[in-house]
Amino acid sequence: MSSERKHIAKVIISGGGTGGHIFPAIAIANEIRSRNPKAEILFVGALGRMEMTKVPEAGYEIVGLPISGLQRKLTFSNFLLPFKILKSLFMARKVIKDFQPELVIGVGGYASGPTLKMATLLKVPTLIQEQNSYPGKTNILLSKKASLICTAYEGLSKFFPEDKIRLTGNPVRKDLSDRNMNRKEAHQIFGLNPDHKTILILGGSLGAKTLNDAMMGMLNIKEQNDCQYIWQCGKYYFEGLRSMVDEEKHPNIKLMAFISRMDAAYSAADLIVSRAGALSVSELCLVGKPIILVPSPNVSEDHQTKNALSLVNHEAALLVKDADAQKELIMKATNLLVDQEKSLVLSKNILSLARPNATSEIVNESESIIANE
């Protein structure tokens, strides 16, 4: 890397589709803006996807491309896909030519492909931020012409040119890296007893059903232990579950559609159960609590299993398969809670994988590309 860097003045950040792509993109934009308040930042996303609302809410301008993914079933949408890709390529080319960025950053998601492809053809340097331990086919193809690839996991040289890889980690929320809440205060926020062990169950919007089913299976036997549960069940399932999880009957269960105070939830937890999305795994490394990962099977390239195994192979997490979760998950969690030795090993090892300065390092690498142009 060049010892002298100039701050970025004009950049396009492309990608989205899920929070796991959108959050890193916004975090990178915020870091660029903090270094150069006058920086011009334009997002390019996919029409109809989450980024089209989340990015403007974060204070940035976004342009939408008519791009979508290939559906698993035979649909009319699949027939239209080649035309959508072609139109998106032409639109991305116009956006880049009009905006004239110094750099284009791709964070994954449908829009990232045509945007980075056209940037390469227009001789604009590109940086790929790869969140997963197993990259998708689009990023593998784009990496051949990219200036640099910032990764969150080791061992990606089998997918990307080794001399272009920079191991930076994934951006995480600033409130997590600044976490200093004590256990008692965190328990008060959720109305729980700090003298009892607490399990945090993190069901997301798409992957909550398996974890919810496992929790429902536990309700009849919960009196056999004094564990407390902070249970994020997802907005879609909340109303149905609330009628079955009576607070008077189950005072040790705090059922929530969505946890807004994740800093408090992480501080309160003695053990965490989660899916294995790239962003979740990066956050959990920073939190440093014993974790059990239940990879979602409904994701491309089965990347959640690969993300989970990258921790399991470092003895930094336990893994329960989605198909086994209803039968095994809660039992494994309660057993781990009383196994102090195993819990300490998992906590120590997962903390060693944390990369709290990922956002800053990614922007450093972005600035180095511009400095070397």
Query: Which of 43-52, 92-101, 204-213 is the most confident on average?
Result: 92-101
Residue 206: its pLDDT value, please? 63
Looking at per-residue confidence, does 172 or 229 come out higher?
229
Residue 198: pLDDT band with limits 50, 70, 90: very high
Cα 50 from Cα 325, distance rounded (Å): 29
Q: Record the pTM.
A: 0.85
**CA dist 347 → 4, 288, 314, 353 (Å):** 38, 5, 11, 10
Instruction: Please say whether the dihedral angle defined by the alpha carbons of residues 180, 358, 292 and 347, taken in this order, is positive or negative.
Output: negative
> Do 295 and 276 meet the contact criterion of CB atoms below 8 Å apart?
yes
Is the predicted pLDDT of residue 205 greater than 90, yes or no? no
Which residue, chain included where needed, has tokens 């910032």? 150
Q: What is the percent of the chain where pLDDT is above 70?
A: 91
Give the least confident one: 39-53, 157-171, 245-259: 245-259
Residue 75: its pLDDT value, please? 54
Other beta carbons within 10 Å of 33: 17
Residue 281: its pLDDT value, please? 94
Is the predicted pLDDT of residue 4 greater than 70, yes or no? no
Residue 69: pLDDT band with limits 50, 70, 90: low
DSSP for 1-68 reads --S-----SEEEEE--SSHHHHHHHHHHHHHHHHH-TT-EEEEEEETTSTHHHHHHHTT-EEEEE---
Query: Which of 131-140, 221-230, 249-258, 312-321 is the most confident on average?
Result: 312-321
Residue 314: its pLDDT value, please? 95
Is the predicted pLDDT of residue 3 greater than 50, yes or no? no
Give the least confident one: 62-71, 131-140, 299-308, 317-326: 62-71
Cα 150 from Cα 13, distance rounded (Å): 14
Other beta carbons within 10 Å of 291: 29
Other beta carbons within 10 Å of 98: 9
Which residue, chain included where needed, has tokens 């116009």? 94
In the structure encoding, which two tokens stand for residue 143, read together?
Answer: 């990496």
Nearest to 337 by CA among 135, 171, 200: 200
Residue 80: pLDDT band with limits 50, 70, 90: low
- 70 secondary structure, DSSP code: P
Give the least confident one: 22-31, 56-65, 235-244, 282-291: 235-244
3-state secondary structure of 297: coil
Cα 12 from Cα 40, distance rounded (Å): 9
In the structure encoding, which two tokens stand for residue 302, read together?
Answer: 């089965």
Cα 66 from Cα 139, distance rounded (Å): 19
3-state secondary structure of 91: helix
Average pLDDT, the chain: 89
Sequence-distant (6+) residues with CB within 8 A of 297 are 304, 305, 322, 323
- What is the mean pLDDT of the segment spanning 74-81? 56
> Do 9 and 102 meet the contact criterion of CB atoms below 8 Å apart?
yes
Domain annotation for the chain: domains and CATH numbers: 10-171+356-371 (3.40.50.2000), 175-351 (3.40.50.2000)
Nearest to 130 by CA among 261, 6, 303: 303
Cα 74 from Cα 70, distance rounded (Å): 9
Q: How far is CA 292 from the centre of its chain?
A: 17
Residue 194: pLDDT band with limits 50, 70, 90: very high
